[in-house]
Amino acid sequence: WKKVFSLLSPYLAFTIAYLCTFYTPIFPFYFGFILIYSAIIVLIVTFAARRYQRYIRNNYSYSEHIDVAWLKKATFILAICLVTWVYTSINITGWGDTIYYISSVLLWSVIVHYSAYQISISMPNNLKGNLLSKKNIEEKEEVEEEQENGSYYAFQEILHKVMEEQQLYLNPKLTISDVANAIGTNRTYLSSYFNNKLNITFYDYINNLRIEKTGKQLLATYPYTMNIDEIAERSGFNSTSTFRRAFFKNTGMTPLQYRKSIQK
Chain mean pLDDT for the chain: 86
Angle at 81 between CA 78 and CA 82, to 5 degrees: 90
Cβ atoms < 10 Å from Cβ of 86: 16
Banded model confidence at residue 137, pLDDT cuts 50, 70, 90: very low
Which of the pair, 147 or 92, is modelled with greater confidence? 92
| pLDDT above 60 for 28 | yes
Whether omega for the bond prior to residue 28 falls within 30 degrees of 0, making it cis, is no
Q: Are 45 and 71 in contact (CB under 8 A)?
A: yes
Banded model confidence at residue 150, pLDDT cuts 50, 70, 90: very low
Angle at 206 between CA 199 and CA 111, to 5 degrees: 90
Residues 6+ apart with CB under 8 A from 182: 162, 166, 168
214 φ, ψ (degrees, to nearest 5):
-130, -50
Distance CA 130, CA 87 (A): 34
pLDDT at 201: 95
Least confident of 80-89, 116-125, 146-155: 146-155
pLDDT at 226: 87
The structural domains of the chain, ordered by start, are 2-125 (no CATH), 155-263 (1.10.10.60)
Banded model confidence at residue 152, pLDDT cuts 50, 70, 90: low
Residues 6+ apart with CB under 8 A from 212: 250
149-171: average pLDDT: 84
Closest CA to 163 of 226, 132, 203, 205: 205
205-224: average pLDDT: 91
pLDDT at 218: 92
Angle at which helix 26-59 crosses helix 202-210, to 10 degrees, equals 50
